[in-house]
Amino acid sequence: MQQRLIKVHEDDNVGIALTNLSEGEIVPFQNDNLQIQNLTNAKHKIALEELSKDAKITMYGVLVGKTTKPIKKGGLLTTENVKHQSESVQGRTEKYRWNPPDISKWKDRTFLGYHRPDGQVGTQNVWLFFPLVFCENRNIQILKDAFEKELGLGKISRQRQLLRQLIQGKRPNVDEDAVLGERTFENVEVKFITHQGGCGGTRQDSEMLARLLAGYIKNPNVAGATVLSLGCQNLQIGLLKDALKSLDNDLQKPVLIYEQQQMGTVEEMLNTIILESFEGIKEANTIERKPAPLSKINMGLECGGSDGFSGISANPALGYASDILAALGGSPMLSEFPELCGVEQELVNRCVRDVDAERFIDLMKAYEQSAERVGSGFDMNPSPGNIKDGLITDAMKSAGAAKKGGTSPIQAVLDYGQYVTRAGLNLLCTPGNDVESTTGMVGSGANIVVFTTGLGTPTGNPIAPVIKVSSNTEMAKKMPDIIDIDTGPIIRGETSIQQMGEEILEYVIKVASGEITAKADILGQDDFIPWKRGVSL
């Protein structure tokens, strides 16, 4: 019989409903019979003891809120009787000791990747086109249309087929498979990104964008790049070159840069770009996959559209996979700083170096203060969808979200646009916004991303596979076209967090080797949104 209520940590005074519970229902729980006071949907929280007004609420062993009015034992926690509260953070308060997982079955495992001259290994082989400024977006789109159609990279979608059938007066058949063009090159992908930055904002925004784009070129999934510049924008070609030099003083990748204001007509420029880029793409196509140790995997850890089950199924399972990778010498990367509010002390204590503990505190404080200056704050992070599915305070959401990072020591703390250089778990300062965060992790070197979700989100990335992990089976069945792995069996007690974590890592290896294509890639979900910190001028 499935367990109906769970207490995550021994110190918690609230539990999570694993199934819908009726008002007045008696639920056996830990040698007690708990009477449910309110109709409670699965994923929502129930008081396990009488809570007076201003009582502290503990989940995952940390403070996640306080009551605004009394709550009876068995009562439902809502936004009407609970508000956000978290513990204050200090410097390191204790020495962290880690008990790593057994990696004996993993230490000799390899994946098939694309080896780069700098020692990095890609999970994909991409020639990337991008602009330095939004003024060049149209030219990028022209190039995208030409390359995708002539290289057979695009496909005729079912929606396009449906419209074609209607125009031809045929009976609609939306079950037909999408038609793929005949591919010219087998070993290289050609991808295109656009953005709305590069000029018009602050100089700091352009500098950060330059670092981010340099990180995309440096990323091991990229074989080479074609860059378009207008000429007069804030993000000058020199800024990008300086950012590249700071990352790698001896970059051995072809980077083709074109400045429109120096080249005459649009047609002349685009023809030159196509001629020269085609040669680079042909050369990139000669690179083939070869075995590489799992330590060459830099795995971004992301969540979005989270629900009340995310913190007890998908996130801790991904955290266990992260721990295995860290123990193997790989580099998992945890981001979304607004969703680490309330667990800062634990993360500070896990920092190997004092400089990183202090840096994490400083970045968190600066971020929250910048939000408060515009009338917001971390307490406003949970989305309507989060709240509807049981995540009613930011600390409650954060305590579950942080489980993606497992338990391994934190080797480095990075700001947005900085590249990973230390093996082991890295913290990267990004927003909680799914795409801005994923964009940042890939720019910091992630060659694959694992993305947990409870409500469903299609987010992908142009150069790195994004594997979707559902927290519950209901959503996985409803949205099978975007979900790669279902951790719902954890909720039903059919498998353990550790077993599911190993299953996630096995899937990562297959995607990294090109044996399986992540659903986001199948959908062509190439999302790219840089974080813009400054105001628009």
Q: What integer best gives the mean pLDDT of the chain?
A: 91
Q: What is the pLDDT of residue 536?
A: 41
Strand locations in 211-366, DSSP E? 222-229, 255-259, 290-293, 299-303, 333-334
- How far is Cα 216 from Cα 255, in angstroms, rounded to an integer? 12
- How far is Cα 432 from Cα 385, in angstroms, rounded to an integer? 14
Least confident of 5-19, 159-173, 211-225, 445-459: 159-173
What's the burial of 7, exposed, middle or buried (CB within 10 Å: 0-12/13-18/19+)? middle
Using 50, 70 and 90 to split pLDDT, how confident is the model at 86?
confident
Tell me the per-residue pLDDT of 31-65, one tens digit each, with 9 for 90 and over.
888 899 999 999 899 999 999 999 999 999 888 89
**Nearest CA to 467 among 488, 486, 445, 489?**
486
Residues 425-452: what's their mean pLDDT? 97
DSSP 8-state class, residue 221: T
**Nearest CA to 335 among 453, 407, 442, 484?**
442
Whether 297 contacts 114, CB under 8 Å? no
Q: What is the pLDDT of residue 266?
A: 96
Rounded to an integer, what is the distance from CA 526 to the centroid of its chain? Answer: 13
- How far is Cα 276 from Cα 270, in angstroms, rounded to an integer? 10
**Token code pair at residue 172:** 């609609």
**Nearest CA to 4 among 476, 16, 316, 61?**
16
Q: Which helix (H) or strand (E) holds 510?
A: helix 497-512
**Nearest CA to 408 among 296, 344, 504, 333?**
333
- How far is Cα 511 from Cα 523, in angstroms, rounded to an integer? 15
Tell me the per-residue pLDDT of 282-326, one tens digit each, with 9 for 90 and over.
999 999 999 999 999 999 999 999 988 999 999 999 999 999 999
pLDDT at 534 over 80: no
Q: What is the pLDDT of residue 202?
A: 86
**Nearest CA to 196 among 534, 535, 530?**
530
pLDDT at 537 over 60: no
Q: Is the pTM of this model over 0.85?
A: yes
- How far is Cα 462 from Cα 190, in angstroms, rounded to an integer? 9
Whether 504 contacts 450, CB under 8 Å? yes
Residue that the structure tokens 């995607």 belong to: 511
Strand locations in 333-409, DSSP E? 333-334
pLDDT at 134 over 90: yes
pLDDT at 535 over 70: no
Q: What is the pLDDT of residue 398?
A: 87
- How far is Cα 484 from Cα 314, in angstroms, rounded to an integer? 12
Tell me the per-residue pLDDT of 358-378, one tens digit each, with 9 for 90 and over.
999 999 988 888 877 777 767
Q: What is the pLDDT of residue 1?
A: 56
**Token code pair at residue 82:** 């609970």
Complete DSSP assignment for 471-487: SSHHHHHH-TTT-SEE-
**Nearest CA to 70 among 48, 49, 52, 47?**
52
**Nearest CA to 303 among 441, 169, 196?**
441
Better pLDDT: 490 or 149: 490
Whether 448 contacts 464, CB under 8 Å? yes
C-alpha dist (Å) from residue 300 to 73, 78, 502, 520: 40, 32, 17, 15
**Nearest CA to 36 among 7, 4, 79?**
4
Tell me the per-residue pLDDT of 375-410, one tens digit each, with 9 for 90 and over.
776 766 677 878 786 787 878 888 899 999 999 999
Residues 203-223: what's their mean pLDDT? 96
Tell me the per-residue pLDDT of 346-359, one tens digit each, with 9 for 90 and over.
999 999 999 999 99
**Token code pair at residue 313:** 């199924």
Residues 112-125: what's their mean pLDDT? 98
Tell me the per-residue pLDDT of 147-181, one tens digit each, with 9 for 90 and over.
988 886 655 666 667 777 777 888 777 665 555 55
Residues 103-121: what's their mean pLDDT? 97
Number of H helices, E strands in the chain: 15, 24
Q: What is the pLDDT of residue 327?
A: 98
Q: Cα dihedral angle (137, 141, 143, 149), rounded to 10 degrees?
A: 170
- How far is Cα 206 from Cα 534, in angstroms, rounded to an integer? 10
